[in-house]
Amino acid sequence: MDLHQLKYFLALAKELHFWNTAAKMNITQSALSRQIQALENELDVQLFYRDKRNVKLTPAGKFLQEQWALEINQLESVHQMAKQIHLGAYGKIRMAHPDSISSSILPDFLEKVLDHYPHLELELIQLPYENQDEYLLNYKIDFAFTRDINHSLSINSRLISSEKLTLVVPWDHPLSSPEDISSQSIENERFILTVNDYESSYNRHIREVFSFYNISQKSYIMSEFGSTIISLVKKGLGISILPKSYAKNGNTGVKFIDLPFETNLFVIWRKNDPNPIVNNLLKLI
């Protein structure tokens, strides 16, 4: 018994006419008869009463018509779902991102994703730089936005955008413009910075800022999350260096002053990833 036989049976059970059913199923009448006969032989059940003029369902045939019609509908729904998954319209995607794009690139990207794939389930994760490769290669995430250059031979990387680094100070701080920033004006400031991972290309940019102004890099508070750092800056506990995209968070109580340095944003994903959903989403970035 196969799916074609069930479909032939259901079509004949509806039409109760071999010639009409054969024409609709695009097979010959003799082929349809053989398929129905083979199904009856396999089940050892008579499905139709038939003579030269009439075709009628037996009680067993009527029962199987009702049951199989439900099962075929469910099966076709499952097949359609599988096709949508294959095409990248359904499923679940785990995506890592830095805190800095939470109010800039990320909402616009997610809006675009949900417009194209409204049934897709998305899980957003924030990871330290040192965990990104391990999470990708062990399928804990499917792709990631990151500010760090990736050198893994097993991971693809694509540059998305660049933006200014900024000096973040309290609103009432005397520094107000790029011209105010000098070695003398910031040498005695206390800095609140991201966790200082020396393998991170982002933190190398931060060290370049300190080198440019010829001051030592010192931080008495460190955090993975820029939103936390901004809250501490508002409180007057120090100043920081963050990507300018944080200015789009609607942050009040702080000023973002442009520095002559930029930070990049990349998207990274597994090489040769067969998941069509990943490939579809990459096209939207």
Of residues 155 and 203, more confidently modeled: 155
Please check whether residues 109 and 81 belong to one and the same domain.
no
Pairing of strands 92-96, 121-125: parallel
Q: Which of 248, 283, 239, 251 is nearest to 102 (CA)?
A: 248
d(CA 209, CA 260) in angstroms, rounded, equals 8
Residue 266 has pLDDT above 90, yes or no: yes
Statement to judge: residues 242 and 279 lie in one domain: no
Same domain, yes or no, for 154 and 168?
A: no
> With 90 as the cut, is the pLDDT of residue 53 above it?
no
Domain count, the chain: 3
Q: Could you tell me the residue range of the domain that residue 208 belongs to?
A: 163-262
Give how far Cα 139 sits from Cα of 34, 81, 163, Å: 49, 22, 30
| Residue 148 shares a structural domain with residue 25 | no
Tell me: do 235 and 271 sit in the same domain: no
Q: Give backbone dihedrals phi and psi of 191, rounded to 5 degrees, phi first.
A: -100, 140
Of the candidates 87, 104, 119, which is a domain's last residue? 87
Q: What is the pLDDT of residue 129?
A: 82
Domain end marker among 62, 87, 112: 87
Co-location of 83 and 71 in the same domain:
yes
| Residue percentage of the chain with pLDDT more than 90 | 56
Residue 148 has pLDDT above 80, yes or no: yes
Whole-number Cα distances in Å, 207 to 29, 203, 220, 266: 81, 6, 15, 20
| Separation CA 11–CA 235 (nearest Å) | 74
Q: Do residues 143 and 117 share a domain?
A: yes
Region of 32 (left: φ > 0; alpha: ψ -120 to 50; beta: rest) is alpha
Helical (H) or strand (E) element with 277: helix 276-284
Whether residue 139 has pLDDT greater than 70: yes
Question: Which DSSP helix (H) or strand (E) runs through 66?
Answer: helix 59-87
Q: What is the mean pLDDT of the chain?
A: 89
Q: In this predicted structure, what is the pLDDT of residue 229?
A: 93
187 shares its domain with 253: yes
Provide the CATH number for the domain around residue 240.
3.40.190.10
pLDDT at 176 over 90: yes
- 146 and 81 in a common domain: no
Rounded-to-10 torsion of CA 167, 168, 170, 173: 0
* The predicted structure's pLDDT at residue 77: 60
Q: Rounded to whole angstroms, how far apart are CA atoms 21 and 36?
A: 12
Is the same domain home to 140 and 272? yes
Q: What is the pLDDT of residues 59-106, one digit of tens each?
A: 999 999 988 888 887 777 667 667 767 767 778 889 999 998 988 899
Residue 1 pLDDT exceeds 80: no
Kindly list the distances between the CA atom of residue 2 and the CA atoms of 17, 36, 72, 226, 283, in Å, as whole numbers in the listed order: 21, 11, 11, 59, 39
283, 150 in Cβ contact below 8 A?
no
CATH at residue 26: 1.10.10.10
210: which 2 tokens? 């300190």
- Under the banding of pLDDT at 50, 70 and 90, the label for residue 211 is very high
